[in-house]
């Protein structure tokens, strides 16, 4: 849990009973950061609250929380998360990869054939490029997703995420749809705000005007393998799905290796797959 989330929780812990817009609110348990019941990734809800309003109605406030001027909407994206186009998802991901490669091919390819030695971790091999999503363009290595309003709603709320992320654990208790966000908050929370300030700053995620102002862009980031990292560091960043994969083909009878970038089953081949495929080369 980051400080922004911790501070948001503190606001309501310090003020469990308050009035807002002419109604009384009482904070109910459990509350806090939802946790997925599966491996990898997090629910779209960053902080979950439920309140008893006017002593008769229970409402849930499931907040997707971002700091001001944030760039990343989601990183290390997997295929299932990007399954926004149904049967056409693989073709769309391939098109995204092709367009990003066209825009910045020379520098992207250079990271494969002539990688700079990392000052701290030493020699490295490129495994490929993962997919991240931003709310702002990221130079040549970004591409607009051009999603429909309905697709944006699915993405920002997490309504189509895996069941383990939608029905998450809050303080160890399973709460149905606790991982599906219904409110958006962009704020650097100090913990000194009032509940009224927080609630008045929330943007409902069913507000279509929110999506008119928010676009999503695909961008890529290199995933590398380090044969001899310093003690306490990993050789690579786990089984990240790769939008673009590195290929190393040994030429028989020679000591030369053909290096290339390929797009094969985008986001369905992981960094771990590449490590295992070329394990002898990376020794």
Distance CA 197, CA 134 (A): 27
Backbone angles phi, psi at 229, to 5 degrees: -75, 160
Q: What is the pTM of this model?
A: 0.85
Please, what sign has the CA dihedral across residues 43, 45, 46, 48? negative
Contact between residue 93 and residue 243 where contact means Cβ atoms under 8 Å apart:
yes
Distance CA 103, CA 95 (A): 12
- According to DSSP, the residues that pair with 220 across neighbouring strands are 131
b or e along 79-117 (b: 16 or more beta carbons within 10 Å of the residue's beta carbon)?
A: bebbbbeeeebbebbeebbeebbeeeeeebeebbeeeee
Q: Say how many residues make up the chain.
A: 283
Per-residue pLDDT of the chain (283 residues; tens, 9 = 90+): 789 999 999 999 999 999 999 999 999 999 999 999 876 678 999 999 999 999 999 999 999 999 887 777 788 888 988 888 889 999 999 999 999 999 999 999 999 998 888 888 988 999 999 999 998 888 899 999 999 999 999 889 998 888 999 999 999 999 999 999 999 999 999 999 999 999 999 999 999 999 988 889 999 999 999 998 888 889 999 899 999 999 998 777 777 889 999 998 999 999 999 999 998 887 6
């Amino acid at each position: 849990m980051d400080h922004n989330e911790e501070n948001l929780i503190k606001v309501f812990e310090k003020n469990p009973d308050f009035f807002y817009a002419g109604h009384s609110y009482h904070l109910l348990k459990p509350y806090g950061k939802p946790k997925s019941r599966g491996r990898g990734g997090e629910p779209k809800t960053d902080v979950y609250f439920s309140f008893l309003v006017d002593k008769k109605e229970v409402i849930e406030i499931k907040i997707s929380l971002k700091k001001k001027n944030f760039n990343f909407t989601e990183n290390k994206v997997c295929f299932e998360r990007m399954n926004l186009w149904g049967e056409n998802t693989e073709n769309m991901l391939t098109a995204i990869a092709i367009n990003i490669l066209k825009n910045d091919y020379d520098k992207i390819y250079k990271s494969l054939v002539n990688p700079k030695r990392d000052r701290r971790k030493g020699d490295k091999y490129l495994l490929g490029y993962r997919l991240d999503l931003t709310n702002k363009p990221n130079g040549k290595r970004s591409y607009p997703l051009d999603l429909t309003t309905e697709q944006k709603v699915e993405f920002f709320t997490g309504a189509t995420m895996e069941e383990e992320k939608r029905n998450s654990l809050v303080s160890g208790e399973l709460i149905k749809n606790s991982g599906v966000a219904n409110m958006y908050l962009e704020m650097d929370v100090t913990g000194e705000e009032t509940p009224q300030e927080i609630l008045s700053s929330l943007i409902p995620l069913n507000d279509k005007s929110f999506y008119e102002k928010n676009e999503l862009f695909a961008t890529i980031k290199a995933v590398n393998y380090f044969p001899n990292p310093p003690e306490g560091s990993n050789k690579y960043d786990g089984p990240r799905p790769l939008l673009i994969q590195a290929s190393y083909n040994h030429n028989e009878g020679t000591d030369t290796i053909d290096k290339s970038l390929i797009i094969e089953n985008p986001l369905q081949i992981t960094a771990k797959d590449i490590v295992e495929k070329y394990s002898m080369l990376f020794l």
